[in-house]
Amino acid sequence: MSRARFVSDREASWKRLARVLNDLESRGRKSSALHAELPSLYRAVAGDLSLARHRAYGLALEERLNALSLRAYHQLHGARLGLLRRFGRFVTVGIPRAVRAEGRLMLLCSVLFWAPFILLTLAGAWAPHWVQAALPAEMAAGLDQGFGGESIQRDSQSNLMMFGHYIRNNVGIDFRTYAGGLLAGVGALFFMIFNAIVLGAAFGYSWMQGYSETFLRFVVGHGAPELWAIVVSATGGLRLGLTLIAPGRRSRRAALAEDGRRSVHLAAGAGVMTTVAAFIEAFWSANDFSLTVKLAVGGPLWVLVPAWLLFAGRRR
Amino acid sequence: MKQTDLALPIQTPEGSTLILRPAGIAVRGAAWALDALARATVYTVCAIPLGLLGRTGFAVLMLLLFAGEWLYFAGYEAFRSGATPGKRRMGIKVVQSDGGPVSIEAALVRNLVRFADTLPFAYGAGLVSCLSSSTFQRLGDRVAGTLVVHVPQDATNSSLTLATRLTDITQRRAQGRAQRAQDEQAENSPEPERPAASLTGHEAALLLSFEERRARLHPDRQIELANLLEPLTGQRGEQALATLRANAHWLEGEA
């Protein structure tokens, strides 16, 4: 069969496929009788592409059929439904399951985070020189100014403004911790331990200076999700780094692709937790309620967050 | 015959083989620059009214900056068929390495790892990764299992109804023009003549491609190329060209 004859025979089918694809790409998947033809048209054009290649009908024709096939392939295999429901399930069940899937790494990161944190907090009372060594001077001054007085002083009165700032700053820290894991896991550990030291030093400093109650009133509300989010994102980053070093029985490329897509659930989870923490920090934490009220509201979170990570979504 | 361009064949579940063409660092760099320009423009344009709104405006600006840094790329790639506005302008898009459309997780992870690509400065790690990969994958692509490919030519249809209608009009005009060009060509086209030697399929495809591209080549260049096939035609110059064209038309119509 000559090329001219081939093209004239099959042109109608290709034009029809192009029409269906244009309709799908512009109007989305609102069902229409036209769309039902996509599978058969796609099979037809795939067959035509093989024929055109086999009979060497020229590059232009091959490119055209290749383009049509690729577009149809994307439409057939690209269905994504129920985004909001998927996100809801991710937050309630998906994040804890992802965390438990990396149980050993999570345990390691938890220890590596909480140990320096608690040590530096305790150092505030028993070994103040460690706190002074670890805490940057500007941060110390900021803490003095914010919590030195009777009530919590935040330098800006606008809660919404602080919300924006916390999102940008804190979620950025989480994402950078995660991405840093690619440096053989060292980047993730570095960011996490650095944050543990500085934050622990802040706690210790407030104890040292004697305004630990005021400081506690500020942080107890949002501390749990924020600190655990750092651990979760470091776990994700560590997973990346370990896969890079020890891909096991898979090729490095395949291992990275597989584990990368799984570990991003941890990064996204950390982002969600930090967003919640930022919300609490911006709109609740700076309010000047008494320690009892703050503990009553914020205390349960310190139990709930680890419990959620440990138990939510377990299948019987 | 040695391949000189980068064509990645992929097997679809339906058993057909599709060709992907990974995009190089120049095109991707240009797309990134366009995206950076777009974001900078949005920041600047929004900063003015937001500045007037005081602290609330500052908060919104912070959220905007966060979204622009971390969510812009991932959002467009996940929900707008794999292409940010910059990529769309340069004619490239993100696909998974098996040829399928990019998933939300893949889009997210490749853009979170973007931070690692920017180390130590100006996308240094990303460049090294692209240049050492056979398919131009930067670190984010490797971790997510994605590729950035050129959009196949036929896929440049716009999604707006008005534009589609306009395309119809211009297409019909172009068809009129093409019809006239075809008539012209029919007058100029030579009598089909069987090639002097029997050609393999690949060689026949080459001749057909030459006839298709001929109009875009300078006449001297056409003759230069025709002279290369002197062993086939036994002629040089204008005669060789005419013979080759006759051969191509024979292959087109009666092979």
Tokens, residue B205: 């495809």
| A261 has pLDDT over 90 | no
Backbone angles phi, psi at B8, to 5 degrees: -105, 115
Q: What confidence score (pLDDT) does residue A79 get?
A: 63
pLDDT in tens, B205-234: 888 888 877 877 888 898 999 999 888 888
Q: What confidence score (pLDDT) does residue B165 get?
A: 43
CA geometry: angle A172, A173, A176, nearest 5 deg: 85
Tokens, residue B72: 């812009």
**Residue A12 belongs to what H/E stretch?**
helix A3-27
Residue bearing tokens 């400065």: B121
Question: For chain A, what is the mean pLDDT?
Answer: 86
Share of chain A above pLDDT 90, in %: 27
**B70: nearest CB among A22, A69, A175:** A175
Within 246-275 of A, beta carbons closer than 8 Å to B belong to: 253, 256-258, 260-261, 263-265, 267-268
DSSP string, B118-171: TTTTTTHHHHHHHHHSTT---HHHHHHTEEEEEPPGGG-----HHHHHHHHHHH
pLDDT in tens, A136-183: 888 888 888 877 777 777 765 677 777 888 888 888 888 888 988 888
**Lowest-pLDDT range of A26-40, A269-283, B231-245:** A26-40
pLDDT in tens, A208-227: 888 888 888 888 888 899 99
pTM: 0.72
Tokens, residue B211: 């006839």
Distance CA A88, CA A264 (A): 17
CA distances (Å), origin B186, targets A258, B179, B209? 56, 10, 18
Tokens, residue B253: 């119509």
Instruction: Decide: residue B210, CB within 10 A, 0-12 exposed, 13-18 middle, 19+ buried.
Output: buried
**A167: nearest CB among B62, B164, B254:** B62
Give the residue, A87 or B131, on which the prediction is more confident: B131
Classified as helix, coil or strand, A81 is: coil
* Residues of chain A neighbouring B70 (CB-CB closer than 8 A): 171-172, 175
Classified as helix, coil or strand, A30 is: coil
* Residues of chain A neighbouring B158 (CB-CB closer than 8 A): 26
> Is residue B108 within 8 Å of residue B102, measured between CB atoms?
no
Hey, of B115, B150, B213, which one would you mutate to test binding to chain A, going by the most A CBs within 10 A of its CB? B115
| A32 has pLDDT over 90 | no
Burial A82-110 (b: 16+ CB within 10 A, else e): eeeeeeeebbeebbbbbbeebeebbebbb
**Lowest-pLDDT range of A6-15, A86-95, B57-66:** B57-66
* Residues of chain B neighbouring A60 (CB-CB closer than 8 A): 209, 212
Backbone angles phi, psi at A227, to 5 degrees: -70, -40
Q: What confidence score (pLDDT) does residue B147 get?
A: 93
Mean pLDDT value across residues A97-118: 92
As for the ipTM of the complex, it is 0.73
Distance CA A34, CA B155 (A): 19
Classified as helix, coil or strand, B22 is: strand
Within 95-134 of A, beta carbons closer than 8 Å to B belong to: none
Of B206, B220, B187, B215, residue with least CA distance to B251: B206
| B211 to chain A, closest Cα gap in Å | 10
Beta bridge partners of B96: B146
Beta bridge partners of B149: B22, B93
> Is residue A212 within 8 Å of residue A206, measured between CB atoms?
yes
**B212: nearest CB among A58, A253, A256:** A58
Burial B147-164 (b: 16+ CB within 10 A, else e): bbbbbbebbeeeeeeeee
**Residue A257 belongs to what H/E stretch?**
helix A252-280
| A216 to chain B, closest Cα gap in Å | 25
Q: What confidence score (pLDDT) does residue B136 get?
A: 92
With the CA atoms of A211, A212, A215 and A220 taken in that order, what torsion angle do they form, in degrees rounded to the nearest 10?
A: -160
The Cβ of residue B11 has, within 10 Å, a number of other Cβ atoms equal to 11
List the single residue in A with minimal CA-CA distance to B109.
A264
pLDDT tier at A43, thresholds 50, 70, 90: very high
Give residues with Cβ within 8 angstroms of A44, minimum separation 6: A10, A13, A17
| Digitized pLDDT (tens) for each residue of chain B, 255 residues in all | 455 678 888 888 878 889 999 999 999 999 999 999 999 999 888 888 877 777 777 778 888 888 888 889 988 988 888 899 999 999 999 999 888 888 888 888 889 888 888 888 888 889 999 999 889 999 889 888 899 999 876 543 333 333 344 445 566 666 666 666 655 555 566 788 888 888 887 888 888 888 877 877 888 898 999 999 888 888 888 888 888 888 888 887 754
Q: CB B208 to CB A258 under 8 A?
A: no
Backbone angles phi, psi at B131, to 5 degrees: -70, -25
